[in-house]
Structures are given as structure tokens and as C-alpha cells.
Amino acid sequence: PNGTFVGAEFSATGWTVTNNQAKNNFDTGYLVIDGANNNYMGISNTASGNAHYDIELTADTYRFGFLTPAAFENTVFARPNMTVKDCGNDNAVSGGILVDTSLDPCF
């Protein structure tokens, strides 16, 4: 809340993400970024009303003003109504509504 940047020394690796809700966010519900890898996002997660996507797995990006590496080798099971944009490397996405990155490019 005070504007201080926080972060971790290492990327999220080997996490299991279950039983969460992401609703009515200004941007993306679940943002898989900064080299996150070998994580599992289960079907028990829900998302709706998010401004851009329900789930986004990013490519290398400077969207926050500094380089955050691509997400890679993650497994996502999305509910049928969830939008998923996969810009990362070698992620496995099952279900959901996949965003066509030729029409909505990765950045």
C-alpha cells in the first residue's frame, strides 16, 4: 500500500495453486510471470469479470519497467468460461478459452 516494491529472490517453482478466486480485477486474474515454472494450476480455481484475461502466462516482458522472464513448463487446467493467454514457453493448458496470440500479441 505504501508503494514499496517487493519481490522474491527466486521464481515460483513447483507450486500447486488450488481453490482460489480471482474476480473483477483491473487487469488479469492470475498472472504467471517472472520465470515461474513447473507449477500446477488446478480446475478448482475460478475467475470472472477480469478486465483482460482470467489467466495469463507471460513471455519475457518489460511491462513493469524491468525484465521479468517468461513463464515456462507450467500446467494449467482452466474452467470452460475462463480466458487464458499463453505467451510463455512449453506450458500445457487444458480447457478454457484460449486467446489467439496472432490477433492479441504477447508483450
- On whether residue 10 sits in a domain, the answer given is no
Which range marks the domain in which residue 75 is found?
Answer: 16-98
Average pLDDT, the chain: 95
- On whether residue 11 sits in a domain, the answer given is no
From CA 87, how far away is CA 63, in angstroms rounded? 14
- On whether residue 38 sits in a domain, the answer given is yes
- On whether residue 61 sits in a domain, the answer given is yes
In this prediction, residue 1 carries a pLDDT of 58
In this prediction, residue 4 carries a pLDDT of 80
Model confidence pTM above 0.85: yes
Average confidence (pLDDT) over 60-89? 97
- 100 versus 3: the higher-pLDDT residue is 100
Whether pLDDT at 77 is above 70: yes
Exposure string for 61-86, b = 16+ CB within 10 A, e = fewer: beeeeeebbbbbebebbbbeebbbbb
In this prediction, residue 87 carries a pLDDT of 99
What is the domain count for the chain? 1
- Please give the share of the chain, as a percent, with pLDDT higher than 90: 90
C-alpha cell at 92: 500445457
